[in-house]
C-alpha cells in the first residue's frame, strides 16, 4: 500500500480553529502542528481541535485493502496473515528501513570525528581543520535527526495500517462467529485479541528492523573500536557476552516480580472496588476498621513485593549503565597490558562513546527476540480466529407468511455459568440442556404466552429462533424481521434515545408513539427532575434508585421502534409494578403490536387469558399448548395453573387500567459535599503537590540526602575519567577503574533509595486516602461517581507506586548530566554561557508548548482506546440482540468510527513527539557545534588543560539526545501530577462524626432495649431541597412489630437512613431507649439497629468472614446463627467461598445471611426491607418471614413492605406519604382508613402472583 500522509490538514473539524496547512507528519518541522500546541497550552485539547485522518488512512479503507489480500489467502490450508500484511503495507516498512540505515551510518561518524578533533587540539594543525570537524559534527547531527524522525514516522504508518486492518477484521469476525465457536470462545479472549495481541503487532515493526540494525550497529562499533585499540576490543566483547545473559536474567526476574505485583495490586484494587461500592452496608455493620485492616494487609503484601520489584529494577538499570564502563575497563586494561602504550583521552573517550553505542544493540537483541516471539504467538492466535466458521441465518423453509415454526425440533444448549450474561460467549459450562420434539407455529397477529417453571426451556425456545441454540433434529424456521428483549436487556452506555433508535433513523412521530406506549414519556420525557436531559440522558448517569423497570422499558421501546415482524419477549414484566404491567400490556402488546407475531415468556399469569395462544413447558418438553379458548375450556395443566395463581375475573379489567401516579424521583443529584474534582480544583499548583509528596516520602532532610547520592555519583565518574587524562600511567588506569567501580555502587544506592522513599510516600498517601474515604459521609458517595474514587485507589495509586519514583530518578540523573555537560564547556569556553541562557529559554518554551498538549493528547488517546474496548465489550455482551436486530454492519461502521478517532489521536501524538524531537535535536546539535567551535577557538588563546577540553567535547556531543530525553521525562513527571493531586485531595474530604462515645455503658445498663422515638424529625438530602421527612413523630414500644408502608419516594428509605445516622437530621430528635442517637458515637448508634436490605450485599471471602469479619465468635455460635436463619441446608461449610457481591447465592439466601448477622449482632431494633413480590420465590420468602418472626420476638422490628400478609401480622402499621405520616394504627384501623396508599396496596394485592 502506498504511503500517504496520515493526517490531512486541509479539513477542519471545528469551526473555531483555523485549518492546518501541510498536515503530513513526514514534514521536517511539522509546523502545521504549532497552532494546535499553543491551543493546548491555553486550554485542554478536545477531539474537535484535531485534524482528521487522510481518507486513505481510515479504518474501512485499510480494512478493505487488507481483506482483498486475505480473501484468497484464507482459502489456503495454512493461511498466512503476515504475508497479507506485507503485501498490503510493505512499502512504508521498507522505506523505514532505508531511513534507519542512513541514520545508523551517520551515528558512527561522531566518535571518529571526536577522536580527530582531540588529536587536532593536541597538534599544531591550522584552525580551519578544527572548524571543518565542527561543521561535520553539525551536519551529521542535523542529518541524523532528519533520517531518524522519518524512520519513526514510517514505522508509525505501518503500525497504524496493521492495527486498523487487524482490529477491524477481528471485530467483524467476532460479530459473525458461528454458535459452536462462540461456545468455545470467551469474550475475554476476543477482547485480548483486539487489544493486547493487536497492540503487540502494532509495536512489532521497529523490532523487526532491530533484527538487522542491531547486528549492523554491533559490527560497525566493533570495527571502529578495533581500529582504535586493536585486539583489546575482544575483551570488551567478552564482558558483553557475560553481562548480556545476566542482564536478561535480571530483566526476566523483574518482569516476573512485576507480574506478581500486578496480581497483588489487582486483588487490592478488587477489594477497594468492593469496599467502596458496598460502603453503605459497611457503615451499617460498623465494619470500617475491619475493611481498613483487610486492605492494609493486602497493601502490606503489595508493598513487600514492590520492594522486590524496586531492588530488581535498581539492579537492572545499574547493570545497564555499568556494562559500558566494565567493558571500558577490560578494553583499556588489556590494551595497556598488550601494547604498554600510555593512555590518553583521545583514545579513551572515543572508546567510551563507541562502547555506549555498543551497549544499546547488545541489550536490545534479547528484548527483540522476546518481543517478536510474543508478536508471533499473537499473530498465530489472530490467524486461528480469522479462519473460524461464520454464523448461518435461519432458513425460511416452508413458511410463506410472517411467523415462526418448530417442526419436531430437538434443541441442544450448552448451559452457561451462573454469572453468564446475554453474551453467547461462555467462560464455563455446567452441562448440556436439551429440548425434545418441539412442535409450534406462531403466526402474525398472534400473542403466544410461553409458561413453565424455572429451567423448563422457555428462554431456550426463544434462543433457538435467534440461532443461539443447536437444532440437532427437525427444523426451526422463521420469516420476517426480529426484535428481541431479554430478561436482563442489553443496553449500550449511550443516551436513552440512541438505545431506542439502535441504528435506525429518527422519526419524530413514530418515536413519540413508541415512548408513549412503553411508558417512557411520563418517566423520562416529562420528568425534568430525574432526567434533566430527558432522552439525551446517558445510561451511566441514571441513579440506581430509578424505577427498576426502566432498562426493560427502554429495551422494549427499542424493539417496538424497529417495527419488526416477530417479537421475542423474555419475561419483561418481572421488574414492573402492577400499574406499569397493565399499561404496557394494554397499550403496547395488545395495542401497537397487536398485528405482530409475539412469543412472550412470562410468569405474569393474570395476563395469560388475554393472549391468543399459550404453551406450557416442563423439563424441556411441551406439556400442553393451544389457543387460549381451548386450554381454558379443558381441565388441563394450564387451566389448573391459572386457577391456582390468579382469579380470572380480575384479569378482564386490566386492559382498562392506566397508571396516573408519578414515578419515584430520587434526591437532587447536585452534590452536597465537594467531590474529588472540586477538591482537586481547590489545591495549589504543581509545586504544592510535589512539596506534599516530598513530605510524605520523609521530608526535605531525606530529599537532600538523596540528592547528595546523585551528586556524588556524577562527580565520581567525571573526576575518575578526568584524572586519567592528567595521569596516563598505570596509576591513572587504577584510579579510573576504582572510581567507576565506586560509581557503579553509587548508581545502585541512589536508585534503591529513590524506590524506597517512593514506596514510603505512596503508602502514606494510600493509607490517608483510604481512611478518609472510609470515614466520609455517605452523602458524599451518593453524589460522587464511585468509579472515579475507585480509579484513584487503583490507576492513580499504580502510577504513584512505581512510575513517580522511576521518573523522578530519571529526571534527576538527566538534569545532572546536562548540568555537568554545560559546566565543563563553560570552564573551557566561558563565552558558551551566553548561548546557554537563550537555549534554556527556548527549551522552556518548547516544554511549555509540548507538555500540556502531550498530556491532553494522552488523555484523549486513553479515552478513545477505552471507548473502543468498551464498545467491543458491549457488542460481545449483547451479541444475541445484535444478531436478532441484524445490525452487524451498523455496529461495524460505529466501531470503525471509534477506531478512526483513536488512530487520529495516536497520529497527532506521534506528530507531537516528532515536533518536539526535531526541534530539541536541532537545538542540541547547534549547542554541541557551538561548544565545539568555542573549544576550537580557545586553542588560539589561553586554552584550558587538554584533559578538561576533551571532557568538555565528550559531554557536549551527547547533549542533543540528552536534552530531548530530559523534556520527555519532564513530561512524564508532570503527567503524574494529576494522580498525586487526586490522592492528596482526599485530605480535604469531610468526615463523619466520631465513631464512639462514653454513652454506650449507660445504654447497655438500660433494662428495656428497643424503644424507639421520633420527635418532629426532619431530614433533607440537600440544603436547597424539600425535606425527605417532614415533622415525623411517633413512638414504638420495645419489641413492637411495625410495618412501614408507602409509595416510592414517600420517605421509607429516608426513615431507615436517619435511624442509622447515615444522614444527619435537619431538625428533631431520634431516641433509642431514651437516649438521643445524635449524642452517641456513630458505631454506638448503628449497633443498636440491624438492617436487612432489599438487595443485600455480601463481600468476597467466605461465609465466616461475611458473618464475623473480626473473628469474635466461635464456630458453634456461627452455626447457631445459620440454623436460626434456616441456612444450614444451604451452607456446607463456614469456609464456603462467597464470590463478589455474593453472586453465587440467590437474593433470598443473601438476605437470610443478613438475618444470621442480626442474631450475632444482637441489636435492639431490626429493620427489614422486603422485596417486591414479582422478584421472589414464595417458599424462600416464607422462610425469611418465618425466620424474622421466630427470632425477633424480643426485638423491635420495622418492616418496609408492600405485602398485605406482612401488614396483617404486624402490631401496627405506619403509612408515609410525601415524607409525612399519613396514618398509624393497627392493621384493621389503617385498612379501614381513607388512605390512598392503602387503597393502591389493596389493588396490587389482587394481582397475580408469579410462578415458582
| Nearest partner of 190 among 866, 862, 869, 863, judged by Cα | 869
Q: Residue 203: CB partners within 8 Å, gap ≥ 6?
A: 159, 371, 375
pLDDT at 84: 94
pLDDT at 578: 72
pLDDT at 1029: 87
pLDDT band at 1183 (very low <50, low <70, confident <90, very high): low
pLDDT, greater one: 460 or 648: 460
Q: Residue 219: CB partners within 8 Å, gap ≥ 6?
A: none
Q: What is the mean pLDDT of residues 133-143?
A: 95
For 267-271, 355-359, 989-993, 1095-1099, which range has the lowest pLDDT when averaged over its residues?
1095-1099
- 361, three cell numbers: 544493540
pLDDT at 76: 87
For the cut 60, the answer to whether the pLDDT of residue 1248 exceeds it is no
pLDDT band at 934 (very low <50, low <70, confident <90, very high): very high
pLDDT at 1177: 40
pLDDT digits (tens, 9 = 90+) for 96-110: 999 999 999 999 999
- 357, three cell numbers: 553505542
Calpha distance 292→768 (Å, rounded): 11
Percent of the chain having pLDDT more than 70?
A: 87
- The dihedrals phi and psi of 66, each to the nearest 5 degrees, come to -70, -40
Q: Residue 336: CB partners within 8 Å, gap ≥ 6?
A: 343, 730, 733
Calpha distance 1176→380 (Å, rounded): 48
For the cut 50, the answer to whether the pLDDT of residue 613 exceeds it is yes
pLDDT at 1127: 78
pLDDT at 678: 38
pLDDT band at 1244 (very low <50, low <70, confident <90, very high): low
For the cut 80, the answer to whether the pLDDT of residue 968 exceeds it is yes
Q: What is the mean pLDDT of the chain?
A: 83
pLDDT band at 419 (very low <50, low <70, confident <90, very high): very low
Contact present, 53 and 896 (Cβ < 8 Å) = no
Domains of the chain, start order: 446-465+480-656 (3.40.50.300), 666-989 (1.20.1560.10), 1000-1245 (3.40.50.300)
| Nearest partner of 694 among 704, 684, 685, 683, judged by Cα | 704
Q: What is the mean pLDDT of residues 611-639?
A: 88
Calpha distance 215→208 (Å, rounded): 12
Contact present, 957 and 914 (Cβ < 8 Å) = no
| Nearest partner of 322 among 255, 252, 216, 247, judged by Cα | 247
pLDDT, greater one: 1145 or 463: 463
pLDDT band at 432 (very low <50, low <70, confident <90, very high): low
pLDDT digits (tens, 9 = 90+) for 706-761: 999 999 999 999 999 999 888 878 888 899 999 999 999 999 999 999 999 999 99
Q: In 230-341, which residue ranges form alpha helices assigned H by DSSP?
A: 233-277, 279-285, 288-339
Q: Which residues on adjacent β-strands are paired with residue 1166?
A: 1090, 1197
pLDDT at 1239: 61
Calpha distance 176→883 (Å, rounded): 9
pLDDT at 670: 35
pLDDT at 166: 95
pLDDT, greater one: 1053 or 1182: 1053
Q: What is the mean pLDDT of residues 653-679?
A: 34
Q: Which residues on adjacent β-strands are paired with residue 80?
A: none
- 459, three cell numbers: 428462554
DSSP E strands, 1155-1235: 1165-1169, 1196-1200, 1212-1217, 1220-1225
User: 858: alpha, beta or left, given left = phi > 0 and alpha = psi -120 to 50?
Assistant: alpha
Four-CA torsion 1123, 1252, 640, 607, nearest 10 degrees? 140
pLDDT digits (tens, 9 = 90+) for 399-411: 888 999 998 888 8
Amino acid at each position: 500500500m502506498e504511503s500517504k500522509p496520515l493526517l490531512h490538514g486541509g479539513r477542519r473539524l471545528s469551526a473555531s480553529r483555523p485549518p492546518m496547512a501541510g498536515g503530513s507528519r513526514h514534514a521536517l518541522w511539522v509546523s502545521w502542528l504549532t497552532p494546535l500546541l499553543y491551543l493546548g497550552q491555553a486550554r485542554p485539547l478536545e477531539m474537535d481541535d484535531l485534524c482528521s485522518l487522510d481518507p486513505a488512512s481510515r479504518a474501512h479503507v485499510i480494512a478493505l485493502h487488507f481483506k482483498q489480500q486475505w480473501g484468497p489467502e484464507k482459502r489456503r490450508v495454512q493461511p498466512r496473515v503476515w504475508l497479507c500484511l506485507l503485501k498490503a503495507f510493505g512499502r512504508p516498512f521498507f522505506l523505514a528501513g532505508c531511513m534507519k540505515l542512513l541514520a545508523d551510518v551517520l551515528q558512527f561518524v561522531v566518535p571518529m570525528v571526536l577522536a580527530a578533533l582531540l588529536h587536532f587540539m593536541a597538534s599544531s594543525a591550522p584552525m580551519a581543520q578544527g572548524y571543518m570537524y565542527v561543521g561535520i559534527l553539525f551536519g551529521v547531527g542535523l542529518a541524523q535527526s532528519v533520517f531518524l524522525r522519518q524512520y519513526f514516522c514510517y514505522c508509525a504508518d505501518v503500525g497504524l495500517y496493521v492495527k486498523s486492518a487487524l482490529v477491524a477484521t477481528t471485530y467483524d469476525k467476532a460479530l459473525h462467529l458461528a454458535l459452536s465457536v462462540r461456545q468455545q470462545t470467551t469474550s475475554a479472549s476476543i477482547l485480548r485479541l483486539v487489544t493486547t495481541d493487536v497492540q503487540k503487532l502494532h509495536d512489532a515493526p521497529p523490532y523487526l528492523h532491530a533484527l538487522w540494525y542491531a547486528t549492523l550497529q554491533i559490527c560497525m562499533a566493533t570495527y571502529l573500536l578495533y581500529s582504535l585499540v586493536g585486539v583489546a576490543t575482544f575483551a570488551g566483547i567478552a564482558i558483553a557476552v557475560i553481562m548480556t545473559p545476566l542482564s536478561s536474567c535480571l530483566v526476566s526476574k523483574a518482569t516476573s516480580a512485576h507480574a506478581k505485583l500486578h496480581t497483588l495490586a489487582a486483588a487490592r484494587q478488587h477489594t477497594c472496588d468492593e469496599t467502596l461500592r458496598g460502603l453503605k452496608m459497611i457503615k451499617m455493620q460498623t465494619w470500617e476498621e475491619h475493611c481498613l485492616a483487610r486492605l492494609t494487609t493486602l497493601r502490606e503484601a503489595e508493598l513487600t513485593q514492590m520492594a522486590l520489584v524496586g531492588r530488581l529494577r535498581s539492579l537492572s538499570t545499574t547493570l545497564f549503565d555499568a556494562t559500558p564502563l566494565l567493558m571500558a575497563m577490560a578494553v583499556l586494561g588489556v590494551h595497556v597490558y598488550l601494547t604498554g602504550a600510555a593512555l590518553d583521552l583521545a583514545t579513551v573517550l572515543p572508546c567510551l562513546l563507541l562502547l555506549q553505542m555498543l551497549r544499546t544493540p547488545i541489550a536490545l537483541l534479547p528484548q527483540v527476540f522476546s518481543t517478536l516471539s510474543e508478536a508471533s504467538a499473537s499473530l498465530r492466535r489472530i490467524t486461528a480466529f480469522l479462519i473460524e466458521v461464520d454464523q448461518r441465518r435461519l432458513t425460511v423453509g416452508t413458511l410463506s407468511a410472517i411467523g415462526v415454526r418448530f417442526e419436531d425440533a430437538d434443541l441442544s444448549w450448552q448451559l452457561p455459568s451462573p454469572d453468564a450474561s446475554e453474551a453467547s460467549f461462555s467462560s464455563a459450562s455446567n452441562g448440556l440442556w436439551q429440548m425434545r420434539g418441539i412442535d409450534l407455529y406462531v403466526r402474525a397477529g398472534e400473542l403466544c404466552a410461553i409458561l413453565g417453571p424455572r429451567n423448563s426451556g422457555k428462554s431456550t425456545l426463544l434462543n433457538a429462533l435467534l440461532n443461539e441454540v443447536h437444532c440437532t433434529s427437525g427444523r426451526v424456521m422463521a420469516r420476517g424481521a426480529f426484535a428481541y428483549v431479554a430478561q436482563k436487556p442489553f443496553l449500550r452506555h449511550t443516551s436513552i434515545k440512541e438505545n431506542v433508535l439502535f441504528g435506525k433513523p429518527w422519526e419524530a412521530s413514530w418515536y413519540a408513539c413508541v415512548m408513549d406506549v412503553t411508558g417512557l414519556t411520563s418517566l423520562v420525557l416529562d420528568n425534568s427532575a430525574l432526567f434533566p436531559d430527558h432522552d439525551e440522558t446517558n445510561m451511566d448517569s441514571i441513579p440506581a434508585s430509578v424505577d427498576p423497570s426502566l432498562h426493560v422499558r427502554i429495551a422494549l421501546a427499542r424493539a417496538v421502534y424497529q417495527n419488526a415482524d416477530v417479537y421475542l419477549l423474555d419475561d419483561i414484566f418481572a421488574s414492573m409494578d402492577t400499574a406499569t404491567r397493565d399499561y404496557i400490556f394494554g397499550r403496547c402488546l395488545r395495542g401497537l403490536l397487536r398485528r405482530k407475531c409475539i412469543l412472550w415468556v412470562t410468569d405474569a399469569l393474570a395476563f395469560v387469558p388475554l393472549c391468543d395462544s399459550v404453551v406450557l413447558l416442563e423439563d424441556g418438553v411441551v406439556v400442553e399448548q393451544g389457543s387460549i379458548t381451548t386450554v381454558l375450556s379443558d381441565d388441563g395443566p394450564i387451566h389448573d395453573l391459572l386457577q391456582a395463581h390468579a382469579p380470572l375475573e380480575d384479569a378482564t379489567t386490566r386492559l382498562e387500567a392506566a397508571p396516573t401516579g408519578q414515578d419515584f424521583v430520587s434526591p437532587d443529584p447536585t452534590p452536597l459535599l465537594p467531590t474529588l474534582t472540586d477538591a482537586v480544583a481547590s489545591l495549589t499548583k504543581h509545586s504544592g503537590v510535589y512539596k506534599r509528596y516530598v513530605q510524605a516520602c520523609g521530608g526535605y532532610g531525606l530529599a537532600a540526602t538523596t540528592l547528595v547520592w546523585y551528586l556524588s555519583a556524577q562527580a565520581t565518574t567525571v573526576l575518575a575519567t578526568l584524572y586519567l587524562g592528567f595521569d596516563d600511567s598505570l596509576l591513572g588506569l587504577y584510579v579510573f577503574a576504582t572510581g567507576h567501580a565506586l560509581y557503579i555502587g553509587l548508581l545502585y544506592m541512589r536508585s534503591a533509595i529513590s524506590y524506597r522513599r517512593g514506596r514510603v510516600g505512596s503508602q502514606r498517601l494510600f493509607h490517608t486516602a483510604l481512611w478518609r474515604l472510609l470515614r466520609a459521609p455517605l452523602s458524599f458517595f451518593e453524589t460522587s461517581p464511585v468509579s472515579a474514587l475507585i480509579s484513584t485507589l487503583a490507576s492513580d495509586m499504580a502510577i504513584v507506586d512505581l512510575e513517580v519514583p522511576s521518573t523522578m530518578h530519571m529526571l534527576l540523573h538527566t538534569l545532572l548530566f546536562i548540568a555537568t555537560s554545560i559546566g565543563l564547556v563553560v570552564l573551557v569556553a566561558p563565552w558558551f554561557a551566553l548561548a546557554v541562557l537563550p537555549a534554556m529559554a527556548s527549551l522552556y518554551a518548547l516544554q511549555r508548548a509540548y507538555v500540556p498538549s502531550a498530556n491532553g493528547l494522552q488523555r484523549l488517546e486513553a479515552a478513545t482506546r477505552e471507548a473502543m474496548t468498551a464498545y467491543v465489550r458491549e457488542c460481545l455482551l449483547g451479541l444475541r440482540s445484535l444478531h436478532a436486530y441484524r445490525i452487524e454492519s451498523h455496529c461495524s461502521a460505529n466501531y470503525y468510527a471509534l477506531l478512526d478517532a483513536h488512530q487520529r489521536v495516536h497520529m497527532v501524538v506521534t506528530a507531537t513527539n516528532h515536533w518536539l524531537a526535531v526541534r530539541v535535536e536541532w537545538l542540541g546539535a547547534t549547542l554541541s557545534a557551538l561548544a565545539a567551535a568555542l573549544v576550537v577557538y580557545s586553542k588560539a588563546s589561553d586554552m584550558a588543560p587538554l584533559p578538561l577540553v576533551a571532557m568538555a567535547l565528550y559531554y557536549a556531543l551527547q547533549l542533543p539526545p540528552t536534552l530531548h530525553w530530559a523534556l520527555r521525562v519532564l513530561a512524564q513527571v508532570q503527567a503524574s501530577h494529576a494522580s498525586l493531586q487526586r490522592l492528596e485531595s482526599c485530605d480535604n474530604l469531610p468526615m463523619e462524626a466520631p465513631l464512639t462515645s462514653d454513652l454506650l455503658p449507660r445504654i447497655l445498663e438500660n433494662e428495656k432495649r428497643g424503644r424507639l422515638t421520633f420527635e418532629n424529625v426532619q431530614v433533607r438530602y440537600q440544603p436547597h431541597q424539600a425535606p425527605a421527612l417532614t415533622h415525623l413523630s411517633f413512638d414504638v414500644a420495645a419489641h413492637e412489630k411495625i410495618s412501614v408502608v408507602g409509595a416510592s419516594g414517600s420517605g421509607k428509605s429516608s426513615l431507615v437512613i436517619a435511624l442509622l445516622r447515615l444522614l444527619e437530621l435537619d431538625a428533631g430528635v431520634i431516641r433509642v431507649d431514651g437516649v438521643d442517637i445524635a449524642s452517641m458515637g456513630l458505631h454506638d448508634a448503628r449497633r443498636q439497629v440491624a438492617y436487612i436490605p432489599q438487595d443485600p450485599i455480601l463481600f468476597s471471602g467466605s461465609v465466616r468472614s461475611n458473618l464475623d469479619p473480626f473473628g469474635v465468635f466461635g464456630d458453634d455460635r456461627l452455626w447457631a446463627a445459620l440454623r436460626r436463619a434456616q441456612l444450614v441446608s444451604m451452607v456446607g461449610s463456614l469456609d464456603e467461598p462467597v464470590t463478589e457481591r455474593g453472586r453465587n447465592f440467590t437474593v433470598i439466601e443473601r438476605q437470610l445471611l443478613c438475618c444470621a448477622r442480626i442474631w450475632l449482632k444482637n441489636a435492639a431494633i431490626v429493620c427489614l426491607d422486603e422485596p417486591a413480590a414479582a422478584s421472589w420465590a414464595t417458599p424462600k420468602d416464607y422462610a425469611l418471614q418465618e425466620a424474622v418472626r421466630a427470632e425477633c420476638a424480643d426485638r423491635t422490628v420495622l418492616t418496609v413492605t408492600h405485602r398485605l400478609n406482612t401488614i396483617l401480622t404486624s402490631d401496627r402499621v405506619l403509612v408515609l406519604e410525601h415524607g409525612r405520616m399519613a396514618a398509624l394504627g393497627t392493621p384493621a384501623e389503617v385498612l379501614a382508613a381513607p388512605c390512598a396508599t392503602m387503597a393502591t396496596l389493596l389493588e396490587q394485592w389482587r394481582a397475580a402472583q408469579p410462578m415458582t
